[in-house]
């Protein structure tokens, strides 16, 4: 079946307006938030229902055409990068909130629903949806599920996987199936758990059941300025060591502060080498007691100025600089790479020094913004594409930072996923056997390898191929169609 035939079949299933094949229109979908990778898809389809989504996947399977799911396209690892020979299934028109059930702390939503819409729908009942990526105003729940997204408040509340109890998905053979349910635990293998974080490689989510969390009685936020990231890091460790679990502990270094000031004029304390934003939430009495403790610990670790948000407006101002940090670096650098890695929290000062050394050795500036509480770094590697060689040196710095994360026992990604961008780093973190085992899971869901191929794994293993040591070449290898890593 040609793409034209496929387009005809999909137009019959969805209606003409919801299938795009015009080259100019297709270009809108050529990248996600990682805009330096661009591929124009062969076709874009906009299902409105789970059944339509299943019909699109079935048509792709019948035509042996690969497909990629896309929510809002804000992903930062190229996960929703289309295939030139494939179909992009865009869920942004599946935006119905089916149910808000405060009585059992659940909401049931379609995959294109935006993260913040869930909280907006739940808040009149005194509830909210806890995982809060900085992109929460625009990213979709389907994308959150696929990336197992995190956010500033995941330190206390956990990641997306801790807030999704069930999903309906179109499995890669085109069948609609349910994983998990409304309960926190289901008998049998945790297929819901396998699906969350699978980056569109195990099927397309068409409905998601999420947990709702009671809005806290009290929220208190402070902003502490330190002369260095060392001191701010020490304060973070001291807070956690004291047994306090803040809702969020976020750090920005001097360059990130400079960028935020230039972009949103957030008025952070002058002369700060690092700032911490610490937020506590929960019952008022507990929050008040712990807040005093946190303030003391910041003082003890050298904070030279501590501001306490007097009201919601001031809290929003503290967060404004932090939440705009990625975009803000555009004010101080024409181009930048957003890196995402994890280290043990206690290694923060050492790793930041090492990042400083790598940055100096390459003549490439790095601004650091991160979820300090859980050691999730977001170094922003700044460069100017117009200067010859800078993009390459920035890539080297970015890769070296990932190597540091692995060296210190961390991870190549904290929340942005592997996608196509970090597939090359997977063998640095995992052995061949590890990768083989992961691909067995993928093959169990998707034996034809049509669901978001080319993502996560540096070289996809063929289904049916025995993991471990290989004797002789697979026929597909001999035909030059596949490699074995
Ligand atoms: C300014 C900015 C700030 C950000 N801050 C954060 C942050 O704090 N924390 C964080 O974790 N991330 C953050 N991100 C990254 C991004 O917003 C998240 O990864 C988000 O979950 C992506 O959602 P999306 O709807 O845009 O997904 P897309 O980019 O459209 O897709 C992402 C992945 O999900 C898959 N996918 C999408 N929908 C489905 C579906 N229905 N079923 C199966 N697979 C699907 C795609 O194939 C792709 O692999 C940020 C991004 C930006 C631009």
pLDDT one digit per residue (tens) for the chain, 485 residues? 889 999 999 999 999 999 999 999 999 999 999 988 999 999 999 999 999 999 999 999 999 999 999 999 999 999 999 999 999 999 999 999 999 999 999 999 999 999 999 999 999 999 999 999 989 999 999 999 999 999 988 999 999 999 999 999 999 999 999 999 999 888 899 999 999 999 999 999 999 999 999 999 999 999 999 999 999 999 999 999 999 999 999 999 999 999 999 999 999 999 999 999 999 999 999 999 999 999 999 999 999 999 999 999 999 999 999 988 888 888 999 999 999 999 998 898 899 999 999 999 999 999 999 899 889 999 999 999 999 999 999 999 999 999 999 999 999 999 999 999 999 999 999 999 999 999 999 999 999 999 999 999 987 666 666 544 444 555 555 666 555 44
DSSP codes of every residue in 339-378: --EE--GGGHHHHHHHHHHHHHHHT--EEEEEEGGGTEEE
Residue found under tokens 């020490």? 234
Secondary structure in 3-state letters for 247-270: CEEEEEEHHHHHHHHHHHCCCCCC
- Cβ neighbours of residue 240 closer than 8 Å, sequence gap 6 or more: 249, 345, 373
**Which residue in this structure is represented by tokens 């635990």?**
185
- List the alpha helices (DSSP H) in 150-190: 154-157
What's the CA dihedral at 226, 229, 234, 236 to 10 degrees?
Answer: 80
pLDDT of 475? 54
Q: What is the pLDDT of residue 416?
A: 95
Q: What is the Å distance from ligand 1's center to 161 Cα?
A: 14
What is d(CA 395, CA 379) in angstroms, rounded to the nearest whole number?
12
In whole angstroms, what is the distance from residue 302 CA to residue 305 CA? Answer: 9
CB neighbours of 13 closer than 8 A, spacing ≥ 6? 52, 55, 56, 59
Q: How far is it between the farthest Cα atoms of the chain? A: 69
Atom of ligand 1 nearest to the CA of 141: 25
- The Cα–Cα gap between 88 and 47 comes to 11
Give residue 289 CA to ligand 1 midpoint distance, Å: 37
Burial class of 93 by CB neighbour count within 10 A (0 to 12, 13 to 18, 19+): middle
Secondary structure E strands in 66-157: 67-70, 87-90, 97-101, 106-109, 127-128
Q: Which two tokens stand for residue 393?
A: 């040196």
For residue 121, give every residue at least 6 positions away whose Cβ sits within 8 Å of its Cβ, in sequence order, or none: 97, 100, 107
CB-CB contact of 302 with 276 (8 Å)? no
pLDDT at 480: 63
Q: How far from chain centre, in Å, is Cα 394?
A: 21
Burial string for 313-323 (b: 16+ CB within 10 Å, else e) reads eebebbbbbbb
Which helix (H) or strand (E) element contains residue 476? helix 475-478
What pLDDT score does 185 carry? 85
Give residue-wise pLDDT tens across range 366-379.
Answer: 999 989 988 999 99
pLDDT in tens, 271-316: 999 999 999 999 999 999 999 999 999 999 999 999 999 999 999 9
Residue found under tokens 């805009």: 35
User: Closest Cα to residue 387, out of 420, 364, 410?
Assistant: 364
Given the DSSP bridges, would you call strands 213-214 and 176-180 parallel, antiparallel or unpaired? unpaired
Q: Tell me the whole-structure pTM to 2 decimals.
A: 0.92
- Give yes or no for residue 74 CB within 6 A of ligand 1: yes
Cβ atoms 447, 462 nearer than 8 A:
no
In the block, residue with structure tokens 């509340």? 157
Cβ contact 146:167 at 8 Å: no
What pLDDT sits at residue 257? 95
Q: Which two tokens stand for residue 293?
A: 């403790």
State which of 34, 75, 450 you would mutate to test the pocket of ligand 1, scoring each by most atoms of that ligand within 8 A of its C-beta.
75
10/18 Cα distance (integer angstroms): 9
In three-state secondary structure terms, 36 is coil
Could you tell me the end-to-end alpha-carbon distance of the chain, in angstroms, rounded to an integer? 31
Which of 112, 142, 277, 330 should be mutated for ligand 1, with most atoms under 8 A from CB? 142
Calculate the alpha carbon distances from 133 to 60, 141, 225 in Å.
Answer: 32, 11, 24
Q: Is 75 in the pocket of ligand 1 (CB under 6 A)?
A: yes
Ligand 1 atom with the smallest distance to the CA of 94 is 41
123, 114 Cβ separation under 8 angstroms: no
86 CB less than 6 Å from ligand 1? Answer: no
């Amino acid at each position: 079946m040609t793409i034209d035939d496929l387009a005809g079949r999909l137009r019959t299933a969805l209606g003409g307006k919801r299938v795009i094949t015009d080259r100019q229109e297709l270009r809108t979908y050529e990248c996600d938030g990682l805009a330096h990778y661009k591929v124009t898809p062969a076709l874009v389809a906009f299902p409105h229902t789970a059944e339509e989504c299943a019909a699109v996947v079935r048509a792709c399977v019948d035509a042996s055409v690969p497909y990629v799911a896309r929510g809002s396209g804000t992903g930062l690892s190229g996960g929703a990068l289309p295939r030139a020979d494939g179909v992009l299934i865009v869920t942004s028109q599946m935006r119905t909130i089916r149910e808000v059930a405060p009585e059992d702390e659940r909401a049931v939503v379609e995959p294109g629903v935006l993260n913040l819409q869930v909280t907006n729908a739940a808040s009149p009942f005194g509830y909210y949806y806890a995982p809060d990526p900085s992109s929460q105003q625009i990213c979709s729940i389907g994308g959150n599920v696929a990336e197992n997204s995190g956010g500033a408040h995941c330190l206390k509340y956990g990641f997306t996987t801790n807030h999704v109890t069930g999903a309906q998905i179109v499995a890669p053979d085109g069948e609609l199936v349910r994983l998990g349910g409304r309960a926190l635990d289901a008998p049998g293998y945790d297929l819901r758990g396998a699906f969350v974080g699978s980056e569109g490689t195990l099927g397309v989510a068409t409905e998601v059941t999420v947990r709702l969390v009671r809005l806290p009685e009290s929220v208190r936020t402070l902003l502490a300025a330190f002369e260095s990231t060392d001191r701010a890091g020490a304060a973070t460790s001291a807070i956690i060591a004291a047994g306090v679990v803040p809702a969020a502990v976020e750090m920005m270094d001097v360059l990130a502060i400079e960028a935020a000031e230039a972009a949103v004029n957030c008025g952070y304390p002058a002369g700060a080498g690092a700032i911490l934003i610490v937020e506590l939430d929960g019952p008022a009495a507990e929050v008040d007691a712990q807040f005093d403790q946190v303030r003391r610990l910041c003082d003890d670790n050298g904070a030279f100025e501590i501001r306490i948000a007097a009201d919601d407006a001031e809290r929003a101002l503290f967060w404004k600089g932090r939440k705009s940090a990625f975009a803000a670096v555009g004010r101080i650098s024409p181009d930048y790479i957003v890196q995402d890695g994890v280290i043990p929290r206690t290694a923060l000062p050492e790793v930041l020094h090492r990042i400083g050394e790598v940055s100096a050795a390459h003549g490439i500036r790095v601004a650091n913004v991160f979820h300090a509480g859980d050691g999730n770094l977001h170094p922003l590697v700044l460069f100017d594409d117009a200067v010859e060689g800078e993009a390459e040196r920035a890539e080297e710095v970015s890769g070296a930072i990932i190597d540091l994360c692995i060296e210190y026992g961390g991870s190549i990604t904290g929340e942005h996923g592997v996608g196509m961008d970090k597939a090359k780093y997977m063998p640095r973190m995992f052995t061949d056997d590890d990768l083989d085992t992961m691909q067995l899971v993928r093959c169990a869901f998707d034996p034809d390898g049509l669901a978001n191929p080319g993502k996560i794994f540096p070289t996809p293993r063929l289904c049916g191929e025995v993991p471990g040591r290989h004797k002789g070449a697979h026929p597909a290898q001999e035909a030059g169609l596949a490699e074995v890593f």
